[in-house]
Amino acid sequence: MSKIEFLNFGKLNVDYSEEIVDRLRLVIQRGRYILGEEVEQFEEEFSRYCQVNHCVGVGNGYDAIRLAIDAIDLRAGDEIIVPAHTYIATWLPAISRGLRIVPVDANSVDYLVDTDKLLDRISSKTRAVIFVHLYGRSAVNEQAYKLLKERNIYIIEDAAQAHGAIAYDGNKIGSHGDLVCWSFYPGKNLGAIGDAGAITTNNSRLAEKLRSLRNYGSKEKYVNNIIGVNSRLDEIQASILRIKLRYLDDNLQIRRRLARYYISNLQISDSLKIPPSDNIDNDAWHLFVVRVSKRDGLIKWLRECGIECLIHYPIPIYRQKALSKFKFAETDFTQANLLSKEVLSLPLSPIINENDQNLIVKSITLYSQQKHAS
Report domain extents, the chain: 9-104+112-245, 249-373
- The whole-number pLDDT of residue 374 equals 53
Element (H, E) at 373: helix 354-373
Measured CA to CA, the distance from residue 203 to residue 226 in angstroms comes to: 19
Q: How many Å apart are CA 226 and CA 350, to the nearest integer?
A: 43
pLDDT, averaged per 10 consecutive residues of the chain (374 residues), comes to: 87 96 96 96 98 98 98 96 98 97 96 97 97 98 97 98 97 97 98 98 98 96 95 97 98 97 91 88 97 94 97 97 92 96 97 94 90 57
Helix (H) or strand (E) holding 298: helix 295-304
Distance (Å, rounded) from C-alpha 275 to C-alpha 198? Answer: 28
CATH number of 9-104+112-245: 3.40.640.10
Class of 249-373 in CATH:
alpha beta
Q: Say if residue 121 is exposed, middle or buried (CB neighbours under 10 Å; 0-12, 13-18, 19+).
A: middle
pLDDT at res. 82: 98
- List the beta bridge partners of residue 54: 201
Residue 271: its pLDDT value, please? 86
Distance CA 363, CA 272 (A): 13
Burial of 70 (0-12, 13-18, 19+ CB in 10 A): buried
pLDDT at 277 (0 to 100): 83
What local confidence, expressed as pLDDT, does residue 362 receive? 96
Give CA–CA dist 266/272, Å, rounded.
9
